[in-house]
Structures are given as C-alpha cells and as structure tokens.
Amino acid sequence: MRFDKDGFIEACREAVKADDSHMAVREIVARAVSEPGEVIAALGEPTKSGITPLYRSDTLTILNIAWPPFMTVTPHNHNMWAVIGVYSGCEDNIFWRRRGDVIEAAGARALRVRDAHPLGRDIIHTVTNPLGRMSVALQLYGGDFFGAPRSQWDPETLREEPYDAATRATAFRDAGERFGF
C-alpha cells in the first residue's frame, strides 16, 4: 500500500469530523507507519532536522518532525490529544505528573518504527532521540498545535513556565547543525 500524503490528510480530517478524540486518527496513523518505507518515499528522506507542518486547522494539526541525533525536548504539554507515529529511528518519552508546584516522573515509553502511540490531552512529556542519526515521526494533534497556549517545565527546577516556541525552534536548529542536519 502506497502512502499518499493528501489521502492521509483527508482521512485524518474526516476521522476528526466524525469523532474529535484520538481513537480513529490513531488507527490511520498506525496503518501509515506500518509501511515506513512508503512514508519515506512519499515525504522524502529527511535531510534537515525540524518541524514541517503538513496540515493545520483549528481542529487538527499534522506535523512531520525530524529529530536530530541525541536531541532532548524538555518537559512540555500540548493541551490537546496527540498521536505519534514513528517511521524512522525512535523516540523515548518520559511522562510526568504534577506534584504541587513541580512535576515528577510518572512513567516512560520507548517508541520505535511502526509504533503509533496516543497521548491524552493532559499529558506532560519529555522526548529524546537516543540515536546517533535522525529519527522521524508523523505527529498529529487534536487542535491548532501552533496556536494553543501550552506550558513547558524548566529541566532543572521542574517548575512550569510559558511555552517558548522560538526557543524550541532554535533548539531544533542548533541540535541539527551539530550533526550537519
């Protein structure tokens, strides 16, 4: 089965119209990443790290995220459901829960090629690419990923602060440049 970007986007849009939870979208993402070579053939082999929007609306955002080697994104939330579908490399997630004014680790999940994992609206997580090469995932969000208010947590104090998109974009760029991506 060939991965068709436009067909994938339309199927996800229709799924969200029918049910605004992550359930139907997760199944679509699982089918897509079950054939990782087809996704790479359609979207291209990533040559640069970063976040590439494939679709954006008030109810759904679809991103193609290329994680540079060894990059860690500090604790953050999305304030909306998400589905992560890994089609090259892997990502390791640490899940956090609130404990008073800070957060504490509450679990972990390693995602590998062909995994499609849902995240609930209230999830706080840290993401790491543990590999010495690029990892790539389709990431879908149940809302406008770029427009929603979110939080991040200081990695040393574990205290909440406003999400800083500019700092996140710079971190992706700098991490990629260290490895020539």
Residue for token pair 């995932």: 137
pLDDT at 169: 85
Confidence label for 121 from pLDDT (cuts 50, 70 and 90): very high
Element containing residue 6 per DSSP (H, E): helix 5-18
Residue 90: CATH number of its domain: 2.60.120.10
Expressed as residue numbers, the domain containing 108 is 5-178
Query: Torsion over CA of 55, 61, 62 and 65, rounded to 10 degrees?
Result: 110
pLDDT at 21: 85
Confidence label for 168 from pLDDT (cuts 50, 70 and 90): confident
54-101 confidence digits (pLDDT tens): 999 999 999 999 999 999 999 999 999 999 999 999 999 999 999 999
Q: State how far the alpha carbon of 149 is from the alpha carbons of 57, 80, 139, in Å.
A: 15, 10, 18
Number of domains in the chain: 1
